[in-house]
Amino acid sequence: MASGAAAPSLALLPPVSELKLSRFCPVRSFPRNAWRSRACAGVAVGSRASAADSFFLDYKPTNAFLFPGQGAQAVGMGAVAQSVQAAADLFQEQMTFLGSYDLLNICLNGPKEKLDSTVISQPAIYVASLAAVEVLRARDGGQDIIDSIDVTCGLSLGEYTALSFAGAFSFEDGLKLVKLRGEAMQDAADAAQSGMVSVIGLDSEKVQLLCDAANEEVEEKDKVHIANFLCPGNYAVSGGLKGIEAVEAKAKSFKARMTNFQLAGPFSCCWCFPHQFMEPAVSRLEAALAETEIVTPRIPVISNVDAQPHSDPETIKRILARQVTSPVQWESTVKSLLNNGLKKSYELGPGKVIAGIVKRVDRAAEIENIGA
């Protein structure tokens, strides 16, 4: 439990006989078996009562797990995990739920185009990131590090990984949600002509002014907005193609250092998909989340939508459904963690995107990569 959080009311706790301890949770965390029977939920209230959503608002972080989002994938990921049985087991278990393709083979051998597709890369990164937790657990002192983690979060897709690690839902349920999320987002993107442009070298206020200027010249369907507040000087703008073209044309006059255009398609990152076109994905996610058991996380999980932790399961469901139509507040999330006293963080999963972002926010920040 994060230091600084108020103790839960005893009236909300299940009888001691119903508590199941796991390797992730000390007794004080009031665990409930969740992720592979190793994670646990903070307050297993079940049908007894709803946990107050303000439970984690005063969290004081010390050590954090940060999980990557789409775009971190690379052919060869998952190789390290094969030398750790518990990590390798995760790749085997996923076949029960994905079935139609061998995720491990695609991760190890590609082809790159297939791994980069949204419907493959999202579950691949989810599994590889949780496998990295097992790789860490297997090394000397790894379990002590896992036990020390008192806050977690993930970049866009990575929020699902963080929630699974924190015991809000099981590995299996998270995998099903991530698979559906990738499919729903891709289907919605395929139905629209859209794209994304990274704007480098401007602060967020100037990028917003750039978007406003571009929007004055295009119709409603082509309007643009900031989709990802990634880190200082790097923001992703998405929208209709004509709006994106207007942003590129005006960027130099706003003194942007450079822009990088990407057409929204099968190989796009999550934030390349313009939010105004993602509404069909929301309804599909809402339906899936309604059927998913979600409980209070055992530690704070910071949301991409508002850079705040949430403890109420129903609120978490609503936040996850709206995540695909909301700007990713990753810069605010990292700043919040550091400003609240975070001492060390660990990036678990493929790539080193998260570490680069954290260093852009604070060069003195301590972060370690744990790959799989």
What value, to the nearest 5°, has the Cα angle with vertex 170 and ends 315 and 139?
Answer: 120
Residue-wise pLDDT for 181-190, tens only, equals 989 888 876 7
Residue-wise pLDDT for 272-299, tens only, equals 555 566 777 888 999 999 999 999 999 9
- Judge contact between 310 and 333, C-beta under 8 A: no
Confidence of residue 168 (pLDDT cuts 50, 70, 90): very high
Q: What is the pTM of this model?
A: 0.84
Over the chain, what HEC string results? CCECCCCCCHHHCCCHHHCCCCCCCCHHHCCCECHHHCCEECCCCCCCCCCCCCCCCCCECCEEEEECCCCCCCCCCCCHHHHCHHHHHHHHHHHHHHCCCCHHHHHHHCCHHHHHCHHHHHHHHHHHHHHHHHHHHHCCCHHHHHHHCCEEEECCCHHHHHHHHCCCCCHHHHHHHHHHHHHHHHHHHHCCCEEEEEEECCCHHHHHHHHHHHHCCCCHHHCEEEEEEEECCEEEEEEEHHHHHHHHHHHHHHCCCEEEEEECCCCCCHHHCCHHHCHHHHHHHHHHHHCCCCCCECCCEECCCCCCECCCHHHHHHHHHHHHHCCECHHHHHHHHHHCCCCEEEEECCCCHHHHHHHHHCCCCCEEEECC
**For residues 312 and 325, which has the higher predicted lDDT (pLDDT)?**
312
Q: Does domain 63-191+277-371 fall into CATH 3.40.50.720? A: no
Residue 145 confidence (pLDDT):
98
Q: Does domain 194-263 fall into CATH 3.30.70.250? A: yes
- The whole-number average pLDDT for the span 75-101 is 90
For the chain, the domains span 63-191+277-371, 194-263
What value, to the nearest 5°, has the Cα angle with vertex 162 and ends 158 and 166?
Answer: 170
Q: Are strands 234-240 and 224-231 parallel, antiparallel or unpaired?
A: antiparallel
- The whole-number average pLDDT for the span 88-107 is 87
**212 has a pLDDT exceeding 60:** yes
Of 253-257, 304-308, 320-324, 335-339, give the lowest mean pLDDT range: 320-324
Q: Tokens in use for 112?
A: 């790159």
- Judge contact between 295 and 44, C-beta under 8 A: yes
Residue 246 confidence (pLDDT):
96
Confidence of residue 39 (pLDDT cuts 50, 70, 90): very low
Confidence of residue 139 (pLDDT cuts 50, 70, 90): very high
- For 208, phi then psi, to 5°, come to -65, -40
Q: Tokens in use for 308?
A: 């705040």
Confidence of residue 263 (pLDDT cuts 50, 70, 90): low
CA distances from 290 to 67, 167, 284, 352 (A): 24, 17, 10, 34
Residue 38 confidence (pLDDT):
36
